[in-house]
Structure formats: structure tokens, C-alpha cells
Structure 1
Amino acid sequence: MKAKLLFLVLFAVQFGFAQEEEVKRKRFIEDPKPFYKKFELSTPLKVNQYAGEINPYTGEKETWFLPDGITARAGIGSHFDKWIGAGMNIGIDWKGNRCLVVVPIFGSIRLSPQITEELRITSEVGYGRALSLSSDKLSGNFKKISLGIEDEENGLGIYIELCQYGFAKYTPERIGSFLIGLNCVIF
């Protein structure tokens, strides 16, 4: 009889102390605004054919590169922890020596790892379409790659870029640019 009573008490105690434990998933701190806006202003550069020579009027050495137009672009996108992002961009590019105005519409992937407390190094690749606003009605694929440095606090930065428009105006080679510019990324 004692054994049956002990077994009954142990059996009842098993149900009395049973508990359900809620498994809590780890929650990462989510960015309240996972989107960014980007504005760029740059100038295409061309090689100066008189680089290194003395200018007879000023007496100074000629520079290696000369400005060759202006480029303005804007974009929006989504990012993860300001480190990786994807976006859509549109702009207007003017190349002076080719008498060409182009509207690039492209998607981009952006990597910007933090290298110090205040600086990020940025790299961006883009691919899309380039449409000419001239009477030639040129269009082609647009490709770009850029590398720059950006301030962590206010998003201002400087970058260099190589881009290709995917069409030619007078010669068989495709038109491209080497640009240097300023950008502002608002998170």
C-alpha cells in the first residue's frame, strides 16, 4: 500500500511542477528607416593634350586633366545597417567635348563598410540604360563603378567613377567617362 501511495504522490508531483517555457528569439535592433536618398554632383575629366608644358600666357605648367562637362544624379534605395544597399538612380550627364547630353537610368548595389568611427569606404556598381537627348536618338547600356570615402555622421563624401554609355556618336568605340565628384547620402 505504501508503494502505491508513493507512486501516486510522485505521479501527481510530476504534473504539478511542469512548466512551459517560452523560447524568445533574438531580436536584432532594426533600423527605423531602412531607406536612403543619394545625391551626386560630379565633373567628367578628359586628358589634357598639353599636360606638363608651360603655358605661354600664364607661365604655369598645364594640368593633367581638364573638366569636360557636369553630371547630376539622384537615387533612392534600401540598406541594411548602412553597410549594404540596393537602389534606383536617375541623372543627367553633359559631356562637353562630344556635345552630348545623356540621361542614365540604372540600378545600383552599394557596399560601404565602416573603416573608422567617422569614415566609411564606399564602392558602388550600377547597370541600366542610357538615353541621349540629342537629335541622334542614341541609346545603350549604362555601366558604372565608383569608389569613394564618406563621412559617417552627415553622409557627405568624395568619389571617383568610371562609366560607359554603351553607344558611339562618331567613332566605333563606346563613349565613356572618368568622373570625380561629391555625394550626399541621407539615411
Structure 2
Amino acid sequence: MKKIVLVSILLCCSFLSFSQRQINYNVSLSATLMLNKDFGDYEDETLFVPNALMVRNGVDVKLNNRLSAGLNIGLDWHPEISILAVPYFADAKFNIAKNDDDRFYAVAGYGKLLKLGNGFERGNYHKFGLGVEVSSSDKIGFQIGLDFHQKTIANYKNGKLNSLSFGLGVFFL
């Protein structure tokens, strides 16, 4: 664990040491949705209901016009199955299409689940997805993403928790 924290700190410092590179801070909120079993039984029911909430916080460094890399930490809460996880991971974003400061990208990430206490899970974390970033000014922008998350958790059925989430976020330049 100490090695992972040390490597993460060193990577973060090396990312920040590139003063000529563009550095973005980002935060996002995602939700996984499932079909509502009670849909149609009551007037105010919706077809989809949130099944899990995920908060992400990270730093991205633009490496070139097509690629950026980042370090992230998050909090995943799955209330239906009583799972709370803190993923920390590195990711890479590849621009599929770009127009000025707006971009459509593919993202992949890998990391670990941090065990902060008895209520938290330990394991591995994988992420794959697609997203859009739209800059609204020189200092701020918004992102929309669709991500597949896989958490490898020893005590969970089949050892893996897979989820597909829709997220909204904001980034600061």
C-alpha cells in the first residue's frame, strides 16, 4: 500500500512539473440506472431508478493533441447491495474527434479499491467509456460520459461487480 501511495504521489508531482502542459482539475457525479420494478403501479413512478452513485475527483494532463492522462480518486456507493468503495486509478483519454476546445473521447483506466475501514471493499478497478467535453469559457467546461466500471471484490458474488453509469461533470483549466 505504501508503494502505491508513493508511486501515485510521484506520478502526480511529475505531471504537475510539466509547466508547459495544460492541467485540468475535474469532478463528476455518475449514476447507474436500473429498470423500476414498480413502474406503472403508481402515477409518479419513473421507468429508471438510480442503483448506485459515483463521485470522481481528479487531475488530467494534456500530453498532446490526441492524448491526456490523469490520476483520480472517487467514492462509489451501491446501497442495494451494501457496497461502498473508494477507487483510486490512473486513466488515459484518447480524442476521437476534436473541435477547438471541445472533444469526443474514449477513456480507459485501471486502479485499486482503497480499504478505509470495515465498511469499505478492497480489490481492483477497471474503467472504459466514452465522453464529451465542452468548454464554455477559458477557465471552465462540462463533461458528459457513459462508462463501464468493473470492481473485482473477493467477497462479492462471482468476484466482480459490473456497472454502466451515466455521468455529468465539470472541469477547470
TM over 0.5: yes
Taking the TM superposition and a 5 Å limit, the aligned residue runs for 1:36-185 are 36-49=24-37, 55-58=40-43, 63=47, 65-81=48-64, 83-117=66-100, 119-133=102-116, 135=118, 138-153=121-136, 154-185=140-171
**Structure ID, larger Rg:** 1
Instruction: Give, in angstroms, the shift of residue 84 of structure 1.
Output: 1.1
Aligned equivalents of 1:59, 1:152: Cα separation in 2: 36
Deviation at 1:78, TM superposition (A): 1.8
Residues 181 and 49 (structure 1), Cα distance of their counterparts in 2 relative to 1, 3 Å cut: same
Higher strand residue share: 2
User: Which consecutive segments of 4 or more residues in structure 1 shift more than 4 A?
Assistant: none
Partner of 1:10: none
Identity %: 26
Higher helix share: 2
Distance 1:77 1:118, change over 3 A: closer
Q: 2:84 touches 2:120 (CA, 8 Å); kept in 1?
A: no
Contact 1:158 1:181 survives alignment (8 Å): yes
Structure 1 residues not aligned, in runs of 5+: 1-30
Moved more, 108-117 or 149-158: 108-117
Deviation at 1:82, TM superposition (A): 5.2
What do the CA deviations read for 1:146-173 (whole angstroms, capped 9, x no partner)? 2111113442021111101111544224
Counterpart code for 1:69: A
* Residue number in structure 1 paired with 2:12: none
What TM-score, normalized to structure 2?
0.74
- Tell me how far apart the structure 2 counterparts of residues 152 and 47 of structure 1 sit (CA, whole Å): 33
Structure 2: gaps of 5 or more residues: 1-18
Q: Distance in 2 between matches of 1:167 and 1:59?
A: 36
Other-structure match for 1:34 = 22
Give secondary structure in 2 for the equivalent of 1:57. Answer: coil
Give the length in aligned residue pairs.
153
- What is the Cα-based RMSD across aligned positions, in Å? 2.7
Q: Per the alignment, in what secondary structure is the counterpart of residue 166 of structure 1?
A: strand
The answer to whether the 8 Å contact 2:86/2:120 transfers is: no
